[in-house]
Amino acid sequence: MKTFNIIMTVLFIVFGTLQYNDPDPYLWMAIYAYAAYLCIHRFRGYYQPRGYSFALFFYLVYAVYLLFDKNGVIAWITQHNAESLVTSMKAEKPWIEESREFGGLLILSITMIINLVKKPVTT
């Protein structure tokens, strides 16, 4: 768990830093910073089930919103033939941005589930 959490902390810090040119950078920097905070504390041996649960709830609710939004993941799949997400983001293609954000929320959610389920070993 220590290795997993230090890797995820570094990744979330990098992901958060890359949000500076995002349409909503402060929201995404905060989202990734909170996940990094939880992971670094888990690395240090602190188990915070309420923090993981809160983050997981927020991430999943936001992911469901992005799934069904008019420019969300379903629109990307059905109306835009699952167009490549690695192309450049343009204002006339908001479904690319929302689908990328959905992917980020899934990574965050999986990390919180792992930290929530994998309880610390007591000696």
Instruction: Supply the pLDDT for residue 69.
Output: 84
Instruction: Supply the pLDDT for residue 90.
Output: 53
The tokens of 107 are what?
A: 């990574």
- What pTM, to 2 d.p., does this model score? 0.86
Sequence spans of domains, the chain: 2-117
**Residue-wise pLDDT tens digits, 83-105:** 655 565 555 677 667 778 889 99
The tokens of 2 are what?
A: 């220590």
**Residue-wise pLDDT tens digits, 3-17:** 999 999 999 999 999
Three-class DSSP category at 6: helix
**Residue-wise pLDDT tens digits, 32-48:** 999 999 999 999 999 99
CA dist., res. 70 & res. 73, Å (int): 9
